[in-house]
Structure 1
Amino acid sequence: MSRPATFVPPPGARAYALRTARGEFAVVDAPAAEGVEPRGVALLLPGFTGSKEDFNPLHVPLAERGYRTVAVDGRGQYESDGPSDDESAYAQEELARDVLAQAEALGTPVQLLGHSLGGQIARAAVLTDHSPFLSLTLMASGPAQIADEQRERVKLLRDALAVLSMAEVWDAMRAMDAQATVEGGALDGGLDDREDLRHRWLSTKPAQLIATGRQLCVEPDRVAELATVPLPFHVVSGALDDTWPVTLLDEMAARLGARRTIIEGAEHSPNTDQPLATARAVADFWDGAGPP
């Protein structure tokens, strides 16, 4: 689970509900910095169990490079509404069409970035219709299903959500994480007792977690299909990643003819592990992928 340092929008950014043809979606919207030449708009999609706040550390450095960044909670994720028990509402094609509607609502072609699960949803959106997008950045997001160990963890979570409340699952995850930390000899604990993290978990719809968790476990390899889309691609990851092996991300980038960036000192969430280096890499790519 991602752990943004704060859920407070950074200076200059505002949180609001973005109105689209497919409903309202909670966003954090940060304009380009004052006095900097505007370079365009970017739409940022968070990962599994995450939220728009996972991108809080990127807004200011990207604003200083001239980019307006709009981070969004997907349907049923944290502050965006959705059904609690209708898994069909969270089918990947539905979430992809939500992204197309979000891009349309922003009123201009956008740079699209997806982290982890968000990358696979972004890929599905581009494969549905690439015309609203200037580029696609896949951040810590692989070509197909997640690694075996992660599939087991997601299956455990889905099984727990079928019989327990969200609050009970949260307590169980904290207990399991704390035990694993003690056995591993770490001193910083597992899931800490931050109320903002707990509130995000309790606000996310169970059906969203069950449906998207299943997607992560069965996602097919669509890289060859994506490679036919006439967009520039960027594959970004930390130097370590336990969700998709870094070597697998290397291979995916080669198959896409994509720019490849490895962020040293980062793991599965370079946006929070090393935000300045990540923002620099992303902006450098966007600078070359802007409107003709």
Structure 2
Amino acid sequence: MRLPDPSTARVAGPWAHKDVSANGIRLHVAELGDGPLVLLLHGFPEFWWTWRHQVVALAEAGYRAVAVDLRGYGDSDKPPRGYDGFTLAGDVAGLVKALGASRAHIVGHAWGGLLAWTVAAMHPRVVDSVTAVSAPHPLALRRAIRQRPRGQGRASAYVFRFQLPVFPERKLTADDGAAVARMLTAWSGPKWTVSPEFDEVVRRNREAMLVPGVAHSALEYHRWAVRSQLRGDGRRFAEAVDRRLDVPVLQVHGALDPVMLESTAADSGRWAGPGSQYRRLPEVGHFPHQETPHTTSRIITEFLAAAQR
């Protein structure tokens, strides 16, 4: 099998692709529009293209929308280390500065959403607001896994299976990334999986996972999250993010999300700043920004408009 080139991630569209140096690595971004910076962080098992609808909608609403391939994904660098919460937050904060902005609205889905919460806590001077799509606060997720093992613990079981060496990488890339197709299908609301767009989404994300180095890098996020619980860096991380934010937070959550349970997301309010909102989307799974792109884009743009007043 011929493995795809990283340039697979540079999907053509109305946006411009560029490489930006931040925090000691090269990050690939897709950019469209002028105005206040909105930085979009993808989740697993995806890449920047997951935000294609929002990039266009935000640009039309008067924002500079920048979707990034996070460290280890897509056409960004894939160094052997740096998949801990501290370094990843530094990547995002450094990217804001490297893009020539002093502050940005941070929008993240799933792992990208966990990272958005983290950046706002660790680097508050570069954050104007946080939008967390399918992403509870990191400490809300940690507590839910411990306190509700039959609920969020069971929903997060895949993360623990990723702790094994080598085997998860092989499983994730076997049969041209068939595991990615299975996850996307199982984690989505049933209406989206029969939509005309879904086949293309599956195809592009399977290709993106097969880019050399991506599978291992993606799994390293999960491995650090679990293994750090028993180490000093995990305790330091918890202390660093355990603070109420000074900026408003928008939480967008699908009622049918089987990965990040709605009850876990709802427990995150204690860390959200003044003017925060929680929006529940019925009949939607783990990918609101793709399953109901127009509704999600409208909710985000309305929140950003209010956050800037």
* TM-score interval, smaller chain: 0.7 to 0.9
**1:173-184 map, 5 Å:** 173=179
Aligned equivalents of 2:47 and 2:40: distance in 1?
10
1:272 counterpart SS class: helix
Cα deviations by residue, 1:130-154 (Å, 9 ceiling, x for unpaired): 1011111111101324622343223
1:197 aligns with 2:205: yes
CA contact (8 A) 1:174 1:192 kept: no
**Amino acid corresponding to residue 155 of structure 1 in structure 2:** F
Q: Residue in 1 aligned with 2:111?
A: 117
1:8 aligns with 2:11: yes
Aligned equivalents of 1:112 and 1:74: distance in 2?
13
Q: Residue in 1 aligned with 2:90?
A: 97
2:302 counterpart SS class: helix
**1:134-153 map, 5 Å:** 134-142=128-136, 143-145=140-142, 147-153=152-158
Question: How far off is 1:21 after superposition?
Answer: 4.5
The structure that is helix-richer by fraction is 2
> Which residue among 217, 222, 227 is the counterpart of 1:208?
217
Identity of aligned residues (%): 23
Off by >6 Å, runs of 4+ in structure 1: 174-180, 219-224
> Which residue among 1, 19, 23 is the counterpart of 2:21?
19
When structure 1 is superposed on structure 2, of 257-266 and 162-171 the one drifting more is: 162-171
Question: How far off is 1:49 after superposition?
Answer: 1.8
1:90 counterpart SS class: coil
TM-score (norm. length: structure 1) = 0.79
CA contact (8 A) 1:117 1:216 kept: no
1:114 counterpart SS class: strand
Cα deviations by residue, 1:86-114 (Å, 9 ceiling, x for unpaired): 3x421111111101110111222110111
Question: How far off is 1:27 after superposition?
Answer: 0.8
Question: How far off is 1:74 after superposition?
Answer: 0.9
CA contact (8 A) 1:15 1:26 kept: yes
**Amino acid corresponding to residue 32 of structure 2 in structure 1:** A
CA contact (8 A) 1:10 1:59 kept: no
Q: Residue in 1 aligned with 2:272?
A: 256
Q: CA RMSD in A?
A: 3.4
CA contact (8 A) 2:108 2:131 kept: yes
When structure 1 is superposed on structure 2, of 144-153 and 117-126 the one drifting more is: 144-153
1:277 aligns with 2:280: no
1:127 aligns with 2:121: yes
CA contact (8 A) 1:62 1:69 kept: yes
**1:155-194 map, 5 Å:** 155-159=160-164, 161-162=166-167, 165=170, 167-168=173-174, 170=176, 173=179
Q: Residue in 1 aligned with 2:76?
A: 80
> Alpha carbons of 1:216 and 1:266: their partners in 2 closer, same or farther (altered >3 Å)?
farther
Question: How far off is 1:54 after superposition?
Answer: 0.4
Cα deviations by residue, 1:190-219 (Å, 9 ceiling, x for unpaired): x96965333200125343222212345558
Aligned length in residues: 270
CA contact (8 A) 1:9 1:28 kept: no
Aligned equivalents of 1:221 and 1:240: distance in 2?
28
1:44 aligns with 2:40: yes
> Alpha carbons of 1:221 and 1:270: their partners in 2 closer, same or farther (altered >3 Å)?
farther
Aligned equivalents of 2:155 and 2:56: distance in 1?
32
> Alpha carbons of 1:287 and 1:92: their partners in 2 closer, same or farther (altered >3 Å)?
same
2:78 counterpart SS class: coil
